[in-house]
């Protein structure tokens, strides 16, 4: 399916209505898709998982996400990082959803495919600008079956 970024974001935000931070989640999903990371597929997996919220209480080791998807938690994690500084995340699911937010906010990110990693510090450049510009100009080619799965929000 061929779709432009703004339309994809608006449609996803509508499908996610009722979920906290729906607009940010839609934006991040489209951002990941534009950068070649399969954001729609990851979001469909997250929607099928079950739990969509989690208390972000810090302990001596950071924050244990208990495998609740970062598709839903990333906006709140970023608010926590802005308020409280660098944090180490454990038991992470769909950590790639942290990437769009950290790039946008120029914040460093450990390996988001590792089940535990740090968020914080300073990012000095945006290595995704060219991919985003190309997707903005040419649109996205999204897998139809994954897109259909996001309607179950």
**Segment-wise mean pLDDT, segments of 10 residues, the chain, 153 residues:** 96 96 98 96 94 94 95 98 95 95 90 68 81 95 93 56
Query: What pLDDT is recorded for position 117?
Result: 67
Q: Residue 102: helix, strand or coil by DSSP? A: helix
Query: What pLDDT is recorded for position 60?
Result: 94
* Continuous segment of H or E residues that includes residue 89: strand 87-90
Q: Residue 62: helix, strand or coil by DSSP? A: strand
- Per residue, the 3-state secondary structure of 104-131, as one string, reads HCCCCECCCCCCCEEECCCCCCCCCHHH
This prediction's pTM: 0.88
Q: Which of 78, 141, 71, 135 shows the shortest CA–CA distance to 104?
A: 78
> Whole-angstrom Cα distance, residue 75 to residue 102?
10
Query: What pLDDT is recorded for position 152?
Result: 45
As a whole number of Å, the end-to-end CA separation of the chain is 20
> Whole-angstrom Cα distance, residue 75 to residue 96?
13
Q: How many CB atoms lie within 10 A of CB 3?
A: 16
Query: What pLDDT is recorded for position 153?
Result: 38
């Amino acid at each position: 399916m061929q779709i432009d970024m703004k339309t994809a974001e608006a449609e996803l935000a509508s499908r996610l209505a009722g979920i906290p931070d729906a607009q940010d989640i839609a934006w991040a999903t489209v951002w990941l898709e534009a950068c070649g990371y399969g954001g729609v597929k990851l979001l469909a997996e997250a929607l099928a998982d079950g739990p969509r919220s989690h208390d972000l209480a810090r302990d001596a080791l950071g924050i244990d996400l208990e495998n609740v998807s970062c598709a839903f938690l990333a906006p709140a994690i970023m608010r926590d990082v802005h308020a409280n500084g660098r944090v180490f995340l454990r038991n992470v699911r769909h950590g790639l959803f942290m990437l769009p937010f950290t790039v946008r906010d120029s914040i460093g990110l450990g390996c988001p495919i590792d089940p535990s990693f740090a968020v914080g510090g300073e990012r000095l450049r945006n290595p995704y600008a060219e991919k985003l510009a190309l997707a903005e100009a040419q649109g996205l080619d999204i897998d139809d079956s994954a897109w259909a799965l996001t309607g179950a929000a």
